[in-house]
Structure 1
């Protein structure tokens, strides 16, 4: 059974930085990301929907630039779940939100950096300006993804993260981690 790929691979009117798509997202967080149509799904919704199925795969064939963004976001969700799971006590929704927002804005490696775990599959940004744009975009996307993950993890109203999501905290997509 093959892994699930991004439906945004066919998008032709999006900017590429290196070989990563800069796709529109639905957000109120300030940043360089283009605004998406609120009635349509965006890459963050797609990543959350595909995370659990794709995290079971060790291999993933990249079929387009949106798949590269999908991989980065799936690895970030893994890091988010690991962060919540490694807390000494089960964090409340507010504590989890603060923790994941901090994780989202922490310094992280970009494609082309020596510490980026998947450099073989990614092209480095062409210029310093492109690298800064990509860092701003990924920071904004990570913040929005962290906020939506907290909503999804604590949706049942019990004040504890969903066990169906937390069961994936030790799973590593492609046996990789962003190392955050």
Structure 2
């Protein structure tokens, strides 16, 4: 059984930088992501959160488009966030921790500490690298908000989410922060 791929791979109108599709997202955070054409439709973050538990069982993932690279990045980021949420008691604490984690310094494709350099292209120039950094920061911020809201039910973490905290997608520890 193959892994679940992004439905946004087919969209040829999306700009790509360094092999990462700059997909539209529903967010209030500032950044380079374009606004979605249909605000009611799911975006890449909704897709990553809903596919996370199924995709976390796979050790291999065949990339079928640049949107899959965004999906992989978000899957690894969600994995990292779940690890941070294991000891947190409530939604408010979790939102604070994840908001801080989202904006911490992190590696981008092409950096020596980025775990997926074999699957991603290095940005062509400094402007593209800055654009990728801003886009990934915007994705991390919005994913953190949505994930915390999805996991915490009645101000307690859902056991159906937290049981995936120790799973390793593609045997990778996460996208991590650079030191």
> TM-score, with normalisation over the residues of structure 2?
0.95
Matched residue, 2:24: 24
The structure 2 residue matched to 1:117, chosen from 115, 118, 135, is 115
The structure 2 residue matched to 1:167, chosen from 142, 146, 163, is 163
SS at match of 1:148: helix
> What is the rounded CA distance, in whole Å, between the counterparts of 1:33 and 1:46 in structure 2?
16
- Count of residues in Structure 1 that have an aligned counterpart in Structure 2: 175
Shift of 1:7: 0.4
Shift of 1:91: 2.4
**Following superposition of structure 1 onto structure 2, how do residues 1-180 of structure 1 map, counting pairs within 5 Å?**
1-36=1-36, 37-85=38-86, 87=87, 90-154=88-152, 156-157=153-154, 159-176=155-172, 177-180=174-177
RMSD of equivalent CA atoms: 0.8
Shift of 1:128: 0.4
Shift of 1:29: 1.1
Shift of 1:179: 2.6
Q: Which ranges in structure 2 are unaligned for 5 or more consecutive residues?
A: none
Q: Which ranges in structure 1 are unaligned for 5 or more consecutive residues?
A: none
> What is the rounded CA distance, in whole Å, between the counterparts of 1:47 and 1:103 in structure 2?
18
> What is the rounded CA distance, in whole Å, between the counterparts of 1:99 and 1:74 in structure 2?
18
